Structure 1
Amino acid sequence: MIATTDIAQLCFHCGNECPDDHIHIEEKFFCCDGCKTVYEILDQNNLCNYYEIEKKAGNTPQISRFDFLDNPEIAKTLLDFQNESISKVTFYIPTIHCSSCLYLLENLFRLHEGIERSQVDFLKKQVAVTFNHNVAQHGISFRQLAELLSSVGYEPLMSLNDVVKEKQKPNDRKLLTQLGLAGFCAGNIMLFSFPEYLGLQDDTYKLLFGYLNIVLAIPVVFYSASSYFESVYKSLRKGIVNIDFPILLSILVAFFRGTYEVVFNHGAGYFDSVTGLIFFLLIGKWFQQKTYHFLSFERDYKSYFPLAVTRLVMGVQESVSVSALKKGDKILIRNGELIPADSLLYKGEARIDYSFVTGEAALENKELGDFLFAGGRQVGGTIEMEVLKDVSQSYLTQLWNNDTFQKEQQSRIKVFSNLVGKYFTFGVLTLAFSVATYWYFQDSSKMLNAFSAILIIACPCTLSLSYPFALGNGLRILGKQHFYLKNVDVIETMANCDTIVFDKTGTITTSEGAKPHFQGKRPLSVFEEMLVVSLAHNSSHPISQKIKEISHEKQFLAIEGFKETPGKGIEGKYHGHLVKLGSGNFVNSSLEKEFNSFSASVAHLSIDDEYLGYFALPNHYRADIEKTIKNLGENYETYLLSGDNQHEKTHLESWFTSKEHLRFECSPHEKLSFILKLQAQGKKVIMIGDGLNDAGALKQAEIGIAVTDDTLNFTPMSDGILSAEHLKDFPAFLKYSRFALKLIRFSYIFSLMYNCVGLTFAVQGTLSPIVAAILMPLNSITLVGIASIGMVFKGKSLFKEK
């Protein structure tokens, strides 16, 4: 009889052991029908590259029920956004664990045509999915989407207690366990090695302590250092040698060399060095991770948007920070303003632009009683709403960072770091093996010390620390100064710009100051004045808001068909009376020139196509703005683009670097064309505007900064939001950004000097691996300290409280 041996058959999808071999497709075996189904789904949609990225990376699908998602009320509490056809939701998926997960989850659109896009946040184990919920039009329902994710092994964890936000908290338990184990074992190994340190030769205990050290070292090497094994294994499978490779090589060489010496009674081995090395490496990793989490926490939850919204209290309007809004508050949103929180519409005609959320600028008409999601922009007249959910500033940040509005700019510092990291590892390996070969023939006792020390001390990972820590702290500190930036790359780009372009109205001028006065053929009647005030009430433009103040009435007429044309004016009807307010051409005035002869911002008025005159708003410039622009002109070329007339040109010429740099009566399109012209000349442009009539210019410029007073009128095209009262500090902000790049370059030089000095001792074989292991995290901590403390102290010196 021929003996047979049972060989465990592993599931092709998830890697678990198959109970038998009856479930299979050709030569691929599966542990259950669920894994087989997942494979068939992936195979039918040409997504089997999933298995090439990571073998047996799948998760066994769980049987789950999502019937509750068919309930519209429950679904509404879980969805981030929903309109007539599109829904957006963020799932927390705890089974996300590798690059294969990332590949599959970002290709969900290939599994069902109703899924439009999906984006994974790997660290938070979240996936944001945008889908067409109209099943009749080849869409997918919320329940079906959850079931589809479950069927491919990625069951979303959902509850009504906002589990997504709860699960964003970082979990350091595994790292702390690995660190604790490494510290415990390293301490005991050093205790057992005391006779060796003191030169005491006792053969009775030498062998016993040696074997005890091996036993203590095994869990440290293969558990505490497991992340290095995983990192190197994954990179090698992709044909890449990453920066963890020399560290892991050093650990394994020291461990197996020590084991050899103990087993063959040649010595005590190097277990104190290898466990100490791992312990201090994990300390450095823990420190880096905690600092990243701190910056992330500051970014997501403590960053201050210098924005406000109009809250209604007993019919009285007041301007409050968006973070002060609470459930049940009544708020007023004007044309062009953003809805800061999920709310219920109870007054006005809502036409909402959800391009912030969907990336598509399609207007949606809403009726009284409709639910309005945060992130939409009102296009039309004033609306009033009741807040149903507290404001989530992290959600506003997520919308602002929508990929649709990102500019394709590559960081030169990041490119440099990646290039150095790519070739540095091969250089270190070459040097380590060369030195080891040299000492093998000269003095073999120094070979292992030299080899290990070189691999440890010359770690290029420090190059990747300075950039995020310096700019991350810069982002946080600038936010405290009411200058809120989209991401850290904006600081670098801003530091490299050489040209600054200002908008005029609402940017260098303010609506505060003298009230506008009307000049026309006759005084306005009470009814006509009320028509004008009610029309202006619907606009967030600075001139409109000042015109609204000519009346002390708190009740306004219900303007119908309100429309605002950027750069021209506003119009609307009340009981058939057409009211227009704006430029002369906009109101079709043939008499404009008769009333256009003084220095002020002007808004012409016509009612029922009869030109009545104009409102003159004397220019009131922001405090210290002349000094600010002249200060900037010392280092930058400064320009002014304005939609107003040229009456202020003579007054403003001395502020800017050249008289030719002032342009008036510019339409939004002409502002955009001017930015393009400057860029064609090789200029790197910062555009500063109010975001109302210059959205195109803000988007086109290398850096677009929206200046805001007290409204939610910033644009997704902007890279920064600046509180208007801090515009005078802009030269200091630019100086701070340039300092950040200098600090990063200094840290690179420091790291290079450290590597050179350390390698000088390492190649001589006089540097112990454990000393190198201590110096490596100390170097990382020093670099983080230089980046973080340097940015903090520079910030304090530049932004002293007045």
Structure 2
Amino acid sequence: MNSNNCFHCGDDCGKKAIVLDDKNFCCNGCKTVYEIFSGNDLDYYYDIQSAAGATPKTLDGRYDFLDSTPIAEKLIEFNDGDLQIVNLYIPHIHCSSCIWVLENLNKLNPSIKSGQVDFPKKTVRITYSSAAISLKEVVLLLARIGYEPYISLDDFDNKKKSVDRSLIYKLGVAGFAFGNVMFLSFPDYFDLSTSDASGGEFWLNKYEPVFHWLMFLFSLPVIFYAGRDYFISAYKGLRSKILNIDVPIALGIFVLFVRSTLEITFDWGSGFFDSLTGLVFFLLLGKFFQQKTYSFLSFERDYKSYFPIAITRISKEGKEETTQVHDIKRGDRLLIRNEELIPVDGILINGQARIDYSFVTGESEPVKKESGEKVFAGGKQLQGAIEMEALKSVSQSYLTQLWGNSIFQEDKASKFQTLTDSIGRRFTIAVLSIAFLSAAFWLYYDPSKVMNVFTAVLIIACPCAIALASPFTLGNMLRIFGRKKFYLKDTRTIEQLAQIDTAIFDKTGTITTSKKSTATYEGMPLTEAEASLLKNTLRGSNHPLSRTLYSLLSEQNIITLDEYEEHIGKGIEGSKDDEHIKAGSASFVGNDQVSDALNTSVHISSNDSYKGKYIFHNEYRDGVSEVFKDMSKNFDVAILSGDNEGEKSRLEKLLPKLTPLYFNQKPQHKLEFIKALQEQGKKVLMVGDGLNDAGALAQAEVGIAISENINVFSPASDGIMDASKFQQLNNYILASKKAMKIIKLSFLLSLTYNVIGLYFAVTGQLEPVIAAILMPLSSISVVAFATISTNFIGRNID
């Protein structure tokens, strides 16, 4: 950096530089930011990237409006006592150092709990203690360190208004230059500039130097504007000691430009300006289509697609009805059962609210709420049923954001390396090795060809096709799966799904359906008061057996329980006045003498007196036998059930012979079972209902939650499958494996082009027309192959 450039932002300090610690600053704002960083032991920010900051703006009371509570509430997405969360759009986010600063705001001010950056959207989600720091102070802190947020209350909900069009502009510049350079290159392609048919000098010959220098001029904006991101990415990667796939791309572009410039300067030839502009244009075109693909996926993958769930709405007549979450309107009265996610902000009407906001904040301590208090979307009710009034409709992307919250990522992503990461690094090393080895060979045999061979290898062996193969293939598969009601968290999940060799299934609510199940009662008749209390206790539970029994019992007056508690894997209990009822396993209700061995049963006790049991007759999903038969051909399959062995003989008839069946498995047992399989080197798929299986879903390489029209959402899952598509599970997995084969075939196709090109390059025979054809043809054919192939796979999934 120039010695007179600002140490913080890199701008020219002019004649009046401000000096501190032997460093120049262009203004007091930059100096203040440096003092903040160095005073908080964060000055190693500048080691990540020099001059990465932005010049802080003069504030002058610009954010005084945030002192207004009504205005601040429009911006704050979560506000519960001492804790507030705000999501701000930061236009200046542009590199890894920006992410680093914004995710370390807690070191600048301990009242800020955390910062989570969404780099593609240029937003930061900040969690802070409102008792110690206000929203205005948070915004002022961001502005002082050069990350001033963009706030527009008129259209704050529509953050897409600030669209980054730079890629479109760069693509336009590269396309314009490419078209003109190709036109100017026609004399070279067809050898029109040397002689006519009679052997005389052709008239284009005298214009040849002009054409060459025009091509040079057209290439300048391509290099210094359209293609600069590849140089920046390569530079940052090398500074971080990471050999990313942009390194050979940037090196190839640079060498192509330098060699072409030298050729026309010393009249050695016409250069490779057509290949240069074409290369950048097709790289940007691929990036543009990739961006459009992900933008389209982002639209399709909002909460409406991701969550094939419903919520119970209470009509004005008091009738409970199931409705889709996106149909919720302001003023609707909603029933939230135990373990259900609150889909919208609202006011608690009745019931005992004990809400787990860890999905939103990461804080696991439940929060108690009284009638009349506000409850927020993303909280999970932990104590029976509550009724609330919706204050707004469901946010377009809020639930999706919860699913992608870094709190739930843990170590899964860090343990898994994508195919592109693996091949890309090896490819980069291979290309650089071939270039240097070829140069060394020709240095010994014919030094005049060294430069030609070295540059030709870097030019022709461009990894752009490899860089495009995975995003287009997996992105399109993600979209296809979504249309087939199989919703995966991200493209990485497809790669992990393709590697699984073991599939573990829960039973109740997973391979059984609550919609067709029936139950019979055996025991002492329940009194009217006991039946009412049982019905209202079941009303608060989301367990499949509870939901089934609730729907089978006769209607009762809705009452608010004094106490409710659900014991995971055991049962539920509720009380009203002096009456107390329990429903669950025999041991839970206090009757160890009753045998559960032969039936799936829910036992009932009233005031610690055993009454009887409801015996369930499970109804298995259509196609269960076919699914297990198909999957057992390629995978190890097993059933892990929390129920007793009452269904064992029936399951043995339904499932392939010798399918392992494990009963009486508590949630912790399921998790440990999967962990034991992984220690044996198994890649495990866990399929559950998202309730008692959260730990197992999180532990498995891929966790799939079955959704059957109930508002049970587990961020621990990697995917959600509509229950109606259960029969297609094996097809989804096979489609994932086929998608990975498509990527490998795309790599092979790209490698074929590279081998052909490298042959001409290494032997010193590379012609401009070969480079001009092979490089763009490689990218276009790979993208077309990936798109057509994945669409073909999609059509074969029913």
Normalising to structure 1: TM-score of the pair?
0.90
Question: For 1:193-342, what aligned pairs fall within 5 Å after superposition?
Answer: 197-199=191-193, 200=202, 205=207, 208-209=210-211, 211-238=213-240, 242-260=244-262, 271-300=273-302, 303-314=305-316, 315-342=318-345
In structure 2, distance between residues paired with 1:508 and 1:266: 72
Match of 1:546 among 542, 545, 548: 548
- 2:565 maps to a residue whose letter is K
Checking the alignment, whether the CA contact within 8 Å between 1:432 and 1:455 is kept in structure 2 is no
1:163 matched to which residue of 2? 156
Aligned-residue offset at 1:766: 4.2
What is aligned with 1:4? Answer: none
How far has the Cα of 1:189 moved from its partner?
Answer: 4.8
Aligned with residue 582 of structure 1, among 559, 581, 584: 584
Summarize deviations over 1:379-401 as a string: whole Å, max 9, x none. 11211222223223532122112
Q: 1:648 aligns to what SS in structure 2?
A: helix
* Bigger shift: residues 736-745 or 334-343: 736-745
Q: Among residues 44, 52, 66, which one is paired with 1:49 in the alignment?
A: 44
Q: Equivalents in 2 of 1:501, 1:265: separation in Å?
A: 69
Find the counterpart in structure 2 of residue 603 from structure 1. Answer: 602
Residue 9 in structure 1 maps to residue 4 in structure 2: yes
SS in 2 for 1:539: coil
CA contact (8 A) 1:306 1:483 kept: no
The reply on whether 1:628 has 2:590 as its aligned counterpart is no
Deviation at 1:451, TM superposition (A): 4.9
Sort the Cα spacing of 1:496 and 1:262 in 2 relative to 1 into closer, same or farther, 3 A. closer
Q: Could you tell me whether the CA contact under 8 Å between 1:243 and 1:459 is conserved in 2? A: no
Distance 1:685 1:202 in 2: 67
Matches within 5 A, 1:504-519: 504-513=507-516, 515-519=518-522
Following the alignment from structure 2 to structure 1, what is the Cα–Cα distance between the partners of residues 115 and 263? Answer: 54
Matched, 1:694 2:668: no
1:726 aligns with 2:730: no
Amino acid at match of 2:573: E
Q: CA deviation at 1:8?
A: 8.7
CA drift of 1:262 comes to 5.0
Q: C-alpha separation between the residues in 2 aligned to 1:733 and 1:379?
A: 34
Deviations for 1:175-233, whole angstroms, at most 9, x for unmatched residues?
Answer: 33333334434444555566665222578655555554544443333333333443344
C-alpha deviation, 1:574, in angstroms: 1.1
* Matched letter for residue 354 of structure 2: R
CA deviation vs aligned residue, 1:462-487 (integer Å, no higher than 9, x gap):
33333332222222222222222222
Question: Are residue 413 (structure 1) and residue 415 (structure 2) matched?
Answer: no
Instruction: Give the Å deviation of 1:302.
Output: 6.6
Tell me, yes or no, if structure 1 residue 181 matches structure 2 residue 189.
Answer: no
Distance change >3 Å, CA 349–CA 117, structure 1 → 2 = same
Q: Name the CA distance, whole Å, in 2 between partners of 1:238 and 1:527.
A: 70
**1:23, 1:31 within 8 Å by CA — same for their partners in 2?**
yes
| Aligned partner of 1:35 among 30, 33, 38 | 30
Pair 1:426–1:300, CA change in 2 (3 A): farther
- Aligned residue in 2 for 1:742: 741
- Which range is displaced more, 59-68 or 192-201? 192-201
1:772-791 correspondence runs (5 A): 772-791=771-790
Superposition deviation, residue 345 in structure 1: 1.8
- Tell me what 2:198 maps to: none
Aligned CA distance change for structure 1 residues 350 and 672 (closer, same or farther; 3 Å): same
Alpha-carbon deviations, 1:343-378, whole Å to 9, x = none? 222222211111111223211011222222211110
How far did 1:729 drift?
1.7
The structure-2 alpha-carbon separation of the partners of 1:192 and 1:678, relative to structure 1 and needing over 3 Å to count, comes to: closer
* Alignment partners' CA distance in 1, 2:418 and 2:252: 32
Deviation at 1:432, TM superposition (A): 5.9
How many angstroms apart in 2 are the aligned matches of 1:216 and 1:646?
Answer: 76
Say if 1:289 and 1:425 are closer, same or farther in 2 by CA, change over 3 A: farther
CA distance in 1, matches of 2:498, 2:260: 52
What is the aligned-residue identity percentage?
46
Instruction: Answer whether contact 2:510 2:688 (CA < 8 A) is retained.
Output: yes
Secondary structure of the corresponding residue to residue 629 of structure 2: helix
User: 1:765-795 CA distances to partner (integer Å, 9 max, x unpaired)?
Assistant: 4443354244323322322333232222112
CA, structure 1 residues 448+21, in 2 after alignment: closer, same or farther (shift >3 Å)?
A: same
- 2:645 aligned counterpart, secondary structure: coil
- In structure 2, the CA distance between the partners of 1:514 and 1:144, relative to structure 1 (3 Å rule), is closer
Match of 1:672 in 2: 671
* Equivalent residue, structure 2, for 1:480: 483
Residues 1:568 and 2:570 are matched in the alignment? yes
C-alpha separation between the residues in 1 aligned to 2:591 and 2:313? Answer: 37
1:69-126 C-alpha deviation (Å, 9 max, x unpaired): 2333322221222222222221111111222212211221111111222122222211
> Match for 1:704: what amino acid?
G
Question: How many angstroms apart in 2 are the aligned matches of 1:439 and 1:178?
Answer: 42
CA–CA separation in structure 1 for the residues paired with 2:264 and 2:679: 70
TM-score by length of 2: 0.90
Deviations 1:742-763 (A, max 9, x none): 2222222222222112222333
2:152 counterpart SS class: coil
Encode CA deviations 1:667-697: one digit per residue, 9 max, x unaligned.
2233333333333443332222212222222
Count of aligned pairs: 781
